Chain A
């Protein structure tokens, strides 16, 4: 089973700070790299995604940075807010099929 490694496992950030979560994959045949956000008691929801033809994508306070040579992509949350407190999952599809999800990062933003 292809692995998707995610770090850190948990993250505590002060309000207004920058949250950074990293994801590393093994297979190079991916063409779509998403991040999902999950609040307690809810299902994951697609937050932002990037295709490897660009190195960065920004949507509001959320940015994905993609490093193809290092097989890594990261999520940056600027001006982090308490409402961003959730678990974040990256995902990647080995061999272009179903997604394998990372183990998740629990983010806590302190007021």
Chain B
């Protein structure tokens, strides 16, 4: 039982490049989330989804897009990466919006 799997684990982008982070969960959870974690700022919600085909903005959505075409997958896209998007990105899922299961993270550096 893999839980929540994030790919890739590390990535270096040049300013202006685009990329997609993939999150996959095998727990049949309805809710999925994307957070970013920066030193001293805890975890901040970027976007979330309460079910297949639905997405919504979180606290810091600017510069990111998401898609939830399949229940088990939640994709986070950066259309034009900026140095301010250098961060560690975590995906999480939950059954009824309570206890979250997090992935192991993607460390992204934008140069």
Secondary structure at the A interface, as helix, strand, loop or mixed, is loop
Chain A residues with Cβ under 8 A from B4's Cβ? 43
* A55 CB, nearest partner CB in chain B, Å: 19
* A35 CB, nearest partner CB in chain B, Å: 11
Across the interface, name the chain B residue whose C-beta is closest to A103: B42
Total interface residues on A, CB under 8 Å, equals 21
A62 and B80 CA atoms in complex are apart in Å by 44
User: Which B residues have a C-beta under 8 Å from some C-beta of A?
Assistant: 4, 33, 35, 40-45, 48, 58-59, 90, 92, 97-105
Between A and B, 27 residue pairs with Cβ closer than 8 Å are A1-B59, A34-B98, A36-B100, A42-B104, A43-B90, A43-B92, A43-B102, A43-B103, A43-B104, A43-B105, A44-B43, A44-B90, A46-B99, A49-B98, A97-B97, A98-B33, A98-B45, A98-B48, A98-B58, A99-B45, A99-B100, A101-B35, A101-B42, A101-B44, A102-B42, A103-B40, A103-B41
